[in-house]
Structure 1
Amino acid sequence: MSTVVETVSAIVNPILADNGFYLSDIEFVKEGGSWYLRVYVDKTGGISLNECVLVSEALSEKLDAMDPDPIPQAYFLEVSSPGAERPLKNEQDYQNAVGDYIHISLFSKVNGKKVYEGTLKSLDAETLTLTLKDKARKFDQEFQRSAIAKARLAIEF
């Protein structure tokens, strides 16, 4: 189903660019016998429900006007924010998360741990630096980006 994702990405990106939004992710999945096209959009400062509706309506209109239909089976279109603990999947997500509290899972242990949470201080093409806290102090820890299995925004308690 990657062709559906690629097709929808090409259609939705100009809509997003015209409105100052960006694409976070697209899923085309079958759940409980029904197909779902989920488009996750965002903007700096967060996206509103009304902005999601605007994208949904514009995307739906463009998809409906295409002949032949790029998605032959029946499906539900969902346009939403990626959420408060959204995954960091692409470079734009990481850049937007600088200064935010994030959670990373590593492929292999670093200093005896595979999971870290801290404030994303900086990043470049090869590394990212988190500001971590322990009981006594704050300190910076650098991680190789290639060592990161998953990353997402996190809520600091």
Structure 2
Amino acid sequence: MKKITELTADLAAPIIAERGCALWDVEYVKEAGAWYLRVLLDKDGGVDILDCEAISRALSDLLDEADPIEGSYTLEVGSAGAERALKRPGDFAKFMGSPVTVKLYRNRDGRKEFAGILAGYDEATGTVTVRVGEQEMIFEKADTALVRLRVEFS
């Protein structure tokens, strides 16, 4: 049986493509006692509110018809954002050489957050290599809570 996120991705894909967008991620999370189904989009030139509105309306109708989720939830459709999380091997490949922030579960060298340039990703082990200043640091998958893009302002 497919997970809710996979079912939603399958339903959303044609609608998202029609709008000239790409599916970045689907999340189904409980926050403050309420369930949220988030569909995050990407698009060259950026996702705008009209994209989100059109996709949300069409997807809401499809989800009502397919009814893959028991109970109530809030559907949110939005941009993955400039500081989006990198999760899949393709995400890391696409943004190799980009500024990132790595957040760890436990302190390393007295801190849990490191900012640098994405220098490597090992698909087999999930390790991430980041150039922090002049030093390359390797972060093991088990130690890494989050890797996300970082916007630098000059």
TM-score, structure 2 length as denominator?
A: 0.71
Deviation track 1:39-85 (CA, whole Å, cap 9, x = no partner) reads 2222355322222223212211212333xx22343332110123333
CA distance in 2, matches of 1:96, 1:103: 16
**Aligned residue number for residue 151 of structure 2:** 155
CA distance in 1, matches of 2:112, 2:31: 32
Structure 1 residue identity aligned to 2:28: E
Task: Determine if contact 2:4/2:28 at 8 Å carries over to the other structure.
Answer: no
Q: Which runs of 5+ in 1 are unaligned?
A: 134-138
- Map residues 38-117 of structure 1 onto 2, 5 A cutoff: 38-66=38-66, 69-106=67-104, 114-117=112-115
Offset of residue 131 of structure 1: 3.0
The structure with the larger Rg is 1
- Map residues 124-135 of structure 1 onto 2, 5 A cutoff: 124-125=122-123, 126=125, 127-133=127-133
Give the % identical residues: 34
TM-score, structure 1 length as denominator?
A: 0.70
Q: How many residues align?
A: 148
SS in 2 for 1:6: helix
Q: Which runs of 5+ in 2 are unaligned?
A: none
**Aligned residue number for residue 136 of structure 1:** none
CA distance in 1, matches of 2:31, 2:71: 11
CA distance in 1, matches of 2:102, 2:139: 11
Q: RMSD of the TM alignment (CA)?
A: 3.0
